[in-house]
C-alpha cells in the first residue's frame, strides 16, 4: 500500500496535533500509523504520520504547498516522502562480506524497500557476489598515503547515481570531514562495538582485553567525530571467558548485520529524526 510519510520536529506547544490531524482530516487523509513524542528535557515535539496516498487529493508537491502555512506557524522542521519513491542507497564495503550479503539478500527478497544503484569497495573481493545480484560494482582503491582522490571518486559516484543514502557496510575507512558534512544524516555506519565503548579500531580486541561479558554493535549516522554520530540502533550478544577474539568476531558479525539492517530499515521508512546528536526512532 502506497503511503505518504509526514515527519515533523518543532518546539512543543498546545494544538500541534490538532492542527495536523485536522489538516489531514479535512482532506480525508487515512492515517495508517501515527507516532508522537514530546521531549521534556529540550521542549521539542516530534511526530510522524503515515497516510494512504490514495486517500489524499495531492501529490507530494501539492501536499507541500497545502501544508506549508501550518509548518511555518509552528516553526516545523519537516519532510514528506512517498513510499513509492524508493530511496537510492549506495552500499560501501571492504573485504568482509557478512553485512553486504545480508543487505543484498534482504533487498533481493523484497524485504528492504530501496534501490541499490551500485556498490563501492576499496577491494575487488566482493565483486562477483554483487554482480550476481545485477548491481554495478565499483572498485575504488584507497591509497593510504593519499586518500583524497579515492574519496573524490566516491563522492562523484554517489552523485552520479543520484544516491540519497550511503551505507558503510563494514567499509573500514574513515570518511573525510567534507564528505561527512556534505551527506549529513545520509551516511549510515555499522560500528562493531556497543558505543560509546571501544571507539575506533579493533573493538573486539579491546573488548577481550577488558573482559566484558557482552559485546555489541552500533548503527549510527556518520559525523566528523569518529564513532560519535547519532545512534540509530544497537544490540548485544553474550560472551564468556571461553570466547576468543576470533569467536567474538564471528558472534559479532551476526549482531552487526542485524543491527545494520534494522537501522537502515528505520532510515528507509523515514522513522528516524535526528535532533541534538540523538535520534527519535518511531519503530
**Cα three-residue angle 275-76-179, rounded to 5 degrees:** 45
82: annotated active-site residue: no
With beta carbons less than 8 A apart as the criterion, state whether 215 and 239 touch: yes
Per DSSP, the chain holds a count of helices (H) and strands (E) of 8, 14
Is 11 a binding residue for a copy of itself by CB under 8 A? The answer is no
Asked if 242 is part of the footprint of a copy of itself (rule: CB under 8 A), the reply reads: yes
Could you count the other beta carbons within 10 Å of the beta carbon of residue 109?
8
Are the CB atoms for 207 and 198 separated by under 8 Å? yes
**Under 8 Å CB-to-CB from 65, ≥6 apart: which residues?**
none
> Site residues for a copy of itself, window 118-177 (CB under 8 A)?
132
Stretch that binds a copy of itself, among 75-83, 161-169, 183-191, 210-218 (CB under 8 A): 210-218
Query: Do 10 and 45 contact (CB within 8 A), yes or no?
Result: yes
β-strand pairing of 119-121 with 137-139 = parallel
Rule CB under 8 A: say whether 197 interacts with a copy of itself: yes
Check residue 201 for interaction with a copy of itself (CB under 8 A): no
What track of x and - describes contact with a copy of itself for positions 43 through 82 (by CB under 8 A)? ---x--------x---------------------------
Q: Does 235 bind a copy of itself (CB under 8 A)?
A: yes
Of positions 216, 222, 256, 269, contacts a copy of itself by CB under 8 A: 216
The string of DSSP letters for 208-254 reads HHHT-SEEEEEEEE--SSTT-SPEEEEEEEE--TT--HHHHHHHHHH
Distance of alpha carbon 283 from alpha carbon 269, whole angstroms: 9
Q: Does 234 bind a copy of itself (CB under 8 A)?
A: yes
In the complex with a copy of itself, the residue whose CB is nearer, 4 or 161, is: 4
**Sole window of 113-121, 141-149, 160-168, 239-247 interacting with a copy of itself (rule: CB under 8 A):** 239-247
Rg (Cα) of the chain, in Å, rounded? 20
Least Å distance between CB 146 and a copy of itself? 31
Tell me which of 102, 227, 243, 270 is the catalytic residue: 227
Residue appearing with cell numbers 550479503: 101
**Nearest approach, Cβ of residue 118 and a copy of itself (Å):** 20
- Give yes or no for residue 231 binding a copy of itself (CB under 8 A): yes
Q: Using the rule CB under 8 A, is 189 a contact of a copy of itself?
A: no
Residue 42 interacting with a copy of itself (CB under 8 A): no
Task: Determine the 3-state secondary structure of 181 from DSSP.
Answer: helix
Q: Which lies closer to a copy of itself via its Cβ, residue 12 or residue 82? A: 12
Count of chain residues binding a copy of itself (CB under 8 A): 69
CA 260/CA 220 separation, integer angstroms: 9
In the complex, the residues that contact a copy of itself under the rule CB under 8 A are 14-15, 17-22, 24-26, 28-41, 46, 55, 97-98, 101-102, 105, 109, 111, 132, 194-198, 208, 210-214, 216, 230-236, 240-242, 244-245, 250, 253-254, 258, 277-281, 283
Catalytic residue IDs: 227
Amino acid at each position: 500500500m502506497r503511503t505518504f510519510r509526514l515527519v515533523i520536529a518543532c518546539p512543543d506547544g498546545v494544538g500541534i496535533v490538532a492542527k495536523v490531524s485536522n489538516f489531514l482530516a479535512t482532506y480525508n487523509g487515512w492515517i495508517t500509523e501515527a507516532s508522537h513524542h514530546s521531549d521534556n528535557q529540550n521542549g521539542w515535539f516530534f511526530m510522524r504520520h503515515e497516510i494512504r496516498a490514495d486517500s489524499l487529493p495531492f501529490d507530494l508537491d501539492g501536499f507541500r504547498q497545502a501544508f506549508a502555512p501550518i509548518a511555518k506557524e509552528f516553526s516545523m522542521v519537516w519532510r514528506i516522502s512517498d513510499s513509492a519513491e524508493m530511496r537510492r542507497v549506495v552500499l560501501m564495503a571492504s573485504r568482509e562480506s557478512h553485512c553486504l550479503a545480508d543487505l543484498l539478500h534482504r533487498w533481493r527478497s523484497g524485504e528492504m524497500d530501496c534501490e541499490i544503484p551500485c556498490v563501492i569497495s576499496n577491494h575487488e573481493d566482493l565483486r562477483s557476489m554483487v554482480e550476481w545480484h545485477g548491481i554495478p560494482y565499483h572498485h575504488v582503491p584507497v591509497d593510504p598515503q593519499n586518500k583524497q582522490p579515492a574519496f573524490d571518486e566516491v563522492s562523484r559516484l554517489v552523485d552520479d547515481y543520484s544516491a540519497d543514502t550511503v551505507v558503510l557496510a563494514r567499509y573500514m575507512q574513515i570518511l573525510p570531514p567534507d564528505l561527512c558534512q556534505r551527506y549529513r544524516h545520509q551516511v549510515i555506519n555499522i560500528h562493531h562495538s556497543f558505543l560509546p565503548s571501544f571507539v575506533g579500531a579493533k573493538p573486539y580486541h579491546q573488548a577481550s582485553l577488558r573482559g566484558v561479558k557482552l559485546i555489541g554493535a552500533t548503527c549510527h549516522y556518520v559525523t566528523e567525530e569518529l564513532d560519535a554520530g547519532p545512534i540509530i540502533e544497537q544490540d548485544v550478544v553474550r560472551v564468556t571467558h571461553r570466547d576468543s577474539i576470533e569467536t567474538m568476531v564471528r558472534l559479532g558479525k551476526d549482531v552487526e548485520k542485524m543491527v545494520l539492517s534494522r537501522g537502515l530499515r528505520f532510515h528507509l521508512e523515514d522513522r528516524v529524526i535526528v535532533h541534538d546528536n540523538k535520534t527519535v526512532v518511531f519503530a
